[in-house]
Amino acid sequence: MTPPQWGIVCRSGSAPVESIPLGRNLFRCHIYSLGQNFISPNYEPQNQRRLGVFSEPYEQFQLLGGSSWSSISIGIYKEVGNVKKPFTPPREVHVQVTHSMPPEKIAIFDSLRGWAEQNILVHLKPVEKCWQPTDFLPDPASEGFDEQVKELRERCKEIPDDYFVVLIGDMITEEALPTYQTMINTLDAVRDETGASLTPWAIWTRAWTAEENRHGDLLNKYLYLSGRVDMKQIEKTIQYLIGSGMMRSAMKQHIPRSNGAIMAIGDMMKKKISMPAHLMYDGKDDNLFEHFSAVAQRLGVYTAKDYADILEFLVVRWEVEKLTGLSSEGRRAQDYVCGLAPRIRKLEERAQARAKQRSPVPFSWIFGKEIKT
């Protein structure tokens, strides 16, 4: 039994209902031995010690008929440092945004169901026509499995560590698929309301998730077989990431119709599109996502240039520059969106120059080896 680190409160003899002051902060309380019929909001009757967290300054312990305080002693100690709740995500998002769409907008999506069926669902590939992870991996049911694994590991030897870091980060991002399906289902008008809904939006979401699921699956098995990576650290990162979820930026809710699209785009770009795995954590590196994406950027896997290219493509495709009849606010949003891609490119050049001076970072995924970011 651990002795209390700070103070002890003992009650003996018979006592009525008692309140025990626990101070203003959160405290933990050990209960060493309990008599019969002990009841409290946090505890079930137990013979031995229980550990709980008090969130209120006072916690009431109430004795039910027949038992007495003599059978109970309570040790209270002050918790050192921050007291966390029994389970909290490793990464917490403090500004939570909920969404509610006005009924007229929901009606627009409802009216688009036929269109979605004809134009969106056609892009889903039938399962029988899709590749599966096994098509690219040694077949565990075949005679030559051991040999194939050996070959795979032989080929992997040539791949530099920084490429593995990027492959791992990408795999982890893919493996957080439950989060993305959840995010889609936070959206009004298109969410899967029953989990097996037959609206085209819901059919799309489930089938897209099912298609996507193969990506992480393949990468995971490949990396596992490679023998080059610390699978346990990777698996922990996946569990942390799914437990943390993700956060989307809030969109302005009430935008005048004539300026709607351009102002919505401007608003979204200002708040930045957050990357799906930005809450990534491995239990060690507090800036894991930044370090991973810096390596991906350095290797040219996904760069700010790609981001700027996509943006530029959309500006041209949607003819943003040619929009007329905008309010002054709308025109400001138009200028902002049109000027963004060149701005990102310039910022990128400066960031590149700074990156040259950064020192290498250890990645737990590859047994703590240091990688240039």
Q: Smallest distance from the beta carbon of 155 to Fe ion, in angstroms?
A: 23
Tell me the C-alpha distance between 241 and 245, whole Å: 6
Q: Which is nearer to Fe ion, 22 or 241 (CB)?
A: 241
Which of 22/219 has CB closer to Fe ion? Answer: 219
With respect to Fe ion, which residue has the nearer C-beta, 215 or 278? 215
CB 35 → Fe ion: shortest distance, Å? Answer: 58
Provide φ and ψ at 370, rounded to 5°.
-90, 135
With respect to Fe ion, which residue has the nearer C-beta, 223 or 361?
A: 223
The CB-nearest residue to Fe ion is 215
Query: For residue 205, which of 221, 183, 228 has the smallest C-alpha distance?
Result: 183
Residue 193: CB minimum distance to Fe ion, A: 25
Which residue's CB is nearer to Fe ion, number 28 or number 221? 221
Residue from 53, 55, 58 nearest 31 by CA: 53
The DSSP-derived string for 163-176 is HHHHHHHHHHHHHT
Q: How many CA atoms lie within 13 A of 183 on its CB side?
A: 19
- What is the residue type of 209? T
Indicate the residue among 212 and 348 with the shorter CB distance to Fe ion. 212
Nearest distance from C-beta of residue 181 to Fe ion, angstroms: 13
- CA-wise closest residue to 274 among 350, 179, 347: 179
Binding stretches for Fe ion (CB under 5 A): 212, 215
Residues 6+ positions from 263 with CB-CB distance below 8 Å: 252, 255, 256, 329, 330, 333
Name the minimum Å distance from CB 293 to Fe ion.
Answer: 16
Tell me the closest approach of the beta carbon of residue 241 to Fe ion, in angstroms. 15
SS3 48: coil
- Taking residue 139's Cβ as centre, other Cβ atoms within 10 Å add up to 11
